[in-house]
Amino acid sequence: MSSARRNPLPKFQLFLILLIQVTEPITAEVIYPFIIGAVRSTGITHGDEKKAGYFAGIIESMFFLAECLTVFYWGRLSDLYGRRKILLLGPLGLSIAMLGFGISKNFVALVIFRAFQGMFNGNIGVSKTVMAEITDSTNMADAFTMLPMMWSIGSAVGCVAPALGGILASPATRWPKIFGKFAFFHNYPYFLPCAAAGCLAFIAFLFAYLGLKESSPAFKDKKRNGITSSEDTEPLLRNGEQCGHYGSNDNADGHDKLLSTRELLTAEMQITLLNYGLLSATDMAWFVLIPLFYSSSIPIGGLGLSPYQVGSILGIFAVLNGAWNLLVLRRVLKKIGPRKMYIVSYAFFLIIFPLLWIIREVAHAAGKVNALVWALIICQLFAATFVNAAWNSMSLLVIQSAPPNSLGAVNGLAQMVTSGTRGLAPLFASSLFSVSLESRLAGGHLVDIVLIALSIIGVFCSFQLPKNKL
């Protein structure tokens, strides 16, 4: 891959795809800094702080469970009706769902609108299909490296001032002279960050509606209103390979050649999807534990940080994480290939989860977040930067494993697997965290032990990936 002449990326189309992509982390993660407060405000915990993790996990999980149930069908629909139409539905629906979440006052409503957010994010796999179709073997790694960077940017926007998350939550309390005059912001303290996220999703919809081209070979050359548009039929890559090599449908009327789900699940695809699911589960478990771990009080096993501090830490990490992956780890990926990069990157979970244990013990012994705790947090977050490289590698491995005429369905299937595990992981991890605190099993470190064991299984499975991949 590194020896071939690199074809230029179709920058504007790639920008539009990444703009749609960035709405997923924004809408998925904007609630994390204030989710504990939102759960408590519904009264469902009856004042018991230790139970907040159970209900927060349900809300967090609904996003990805709903995404899991719809993502494969979005991919199939994109194979049948084209990529552009399906992609446009996502950010439009997200903008409405976020507003609904922001005005929800009870637990059931929060769950329902969280599910709608996940459903409209279900077409996120289609964007990966488009990226594969507008790139080739010389520049695909460069394009896909930007996906986790978009997640990082979205996380930063969702968590750092002056944007969303913990900064915009409860504006009537934070800025009483501006928002305190309005009863609405007292009654709906989490509407402002949700509305901001919804606004960004709507902006992504408008840009995509105006500029996004169809990328599927089966549709982009069709006539519109009986007139062939040279702009519509012009290849996105003039000098590059088309992505038929990676499972695209090159037949202009190839609807009858779609493979069944059983035909998609080759042995190679099965082991790839297994690793994808394990990566998703461990990564999401780690990510949802962070706000719980940071915001819980020190006596019960946390760090006692405020939502502002949690949002700031996650946002700073997100920005530095994206830069590190773009400037350094992307080059490593292109040099050693996705299989080796995935194995190395995933192994860093064996550093991340033991440090979670150590940090909690140090903070509890000191009775505060001292300099040593901050140093350990920095080490842990640095290890976590390698997780993005694992996501990059796995995206490439999925595309390379796609059978012919099935790129949309394969990306939908892969996204369904990751969405399912990401949906279960928050409920599993946050509930296990609460059980650990309440039962004091293994000194309150049951959650750490389970996740370390899961990481060991994931490392073993990573070595089972086909060795014929680049």
pLDDT attached to residue 166: 62
Any domain includes 164:
yes
Here the tokens at position 184 are: 């609405």
CB atoms within 10 A of CB 323: 13
CA distance 364 to 380: 18
pLDDT attached to residue 238: 35
Which amino acid is located at 361 in the chain? E
Domain span at residue 391 reads: 11-220+230-462
Locus of tokens 């099935």: 406
The DSSP secondary-structure symbol of 190 reads T
> Could you tell me the CATH number of the domain that includes residue 93?
1.20.1250.20
Any domain includes 470:
no
Q: Which residues pair with 224 in a beta bridge?
A: 227
pLDDT attached to residue 290: 83
Burial (Cβ within 10 Å: 0-12, 13-18, ≥19) of residue 105? exposed
Here the tokens at position 300 are: 């019960």
Any domain includes 225:
no
Q: What's the gap between Cα 178 and its chain centre? A: 34
Any domain includes 3:
no
CA distance 194 to 271: 38
Are 139 and 426 within 8 A, CB to CB?
no
What count of residues does the chain have? 470
Which amino acid is located at 171 in the chain? P
Any domain includes 2:
no
Helix (H) or strand (E) holding 217: none
CA distance 396 to 49: 42
CA distance 189 to 192: 7
Total structural domains in the chain?
A: 1
421-434 confidence digits (pLDDT tens)? 876 777 788 788 88
Any domain includes 469:
no
Q: Which residues contact 322 (CB under 8 A, 6 or more apart)?
A: 148, 149, 152, 153, 156, 388
Output the DSSP codes for 122-179: GGHHHHHHHHHHS--TTTHHHHHHHHHHHHHHHHHHHHSTTSSHHHHSSHHHHSTTTT
CA distance 34 to 190: 8
Are 242 and 392 within 8 A, CB to CB?
no
CA distance 122 to 222: 26
Are 1 and 337 within 8 A, CB to CB?
yes
Which whole-number Å values give the CA distances from 139 to 25, 150, 307, 358, in the listed order?
Answer: 24, 17, 40, 41
CB atoms within 10 A of CB 60: 27
Which amino acid is located at 343 in the chain? I
CA distance 123 to 205: 13
pLDDT attached to residue 287: 81
pLDDT attached to residue 341: 93
**Residue ranges in the chain modelled with pLDDT below 70:** 1-6, 45-52, 137-166, 220-261, 307, 404-408, 423, 468-470
Any domain includes 255:
yes
Strand stretches in 293-423, DSSP E = none
Q: What's the gap between Cα 234 and its chain centre? A: 32
Any domain includes 337:
yes
Q: What's the gap between Cα 450 and its chain centre? A: 23
Q: Which residues contact 149 (CB under 8 A, 6 or more apart)?
A: 322, 325, 326, 388
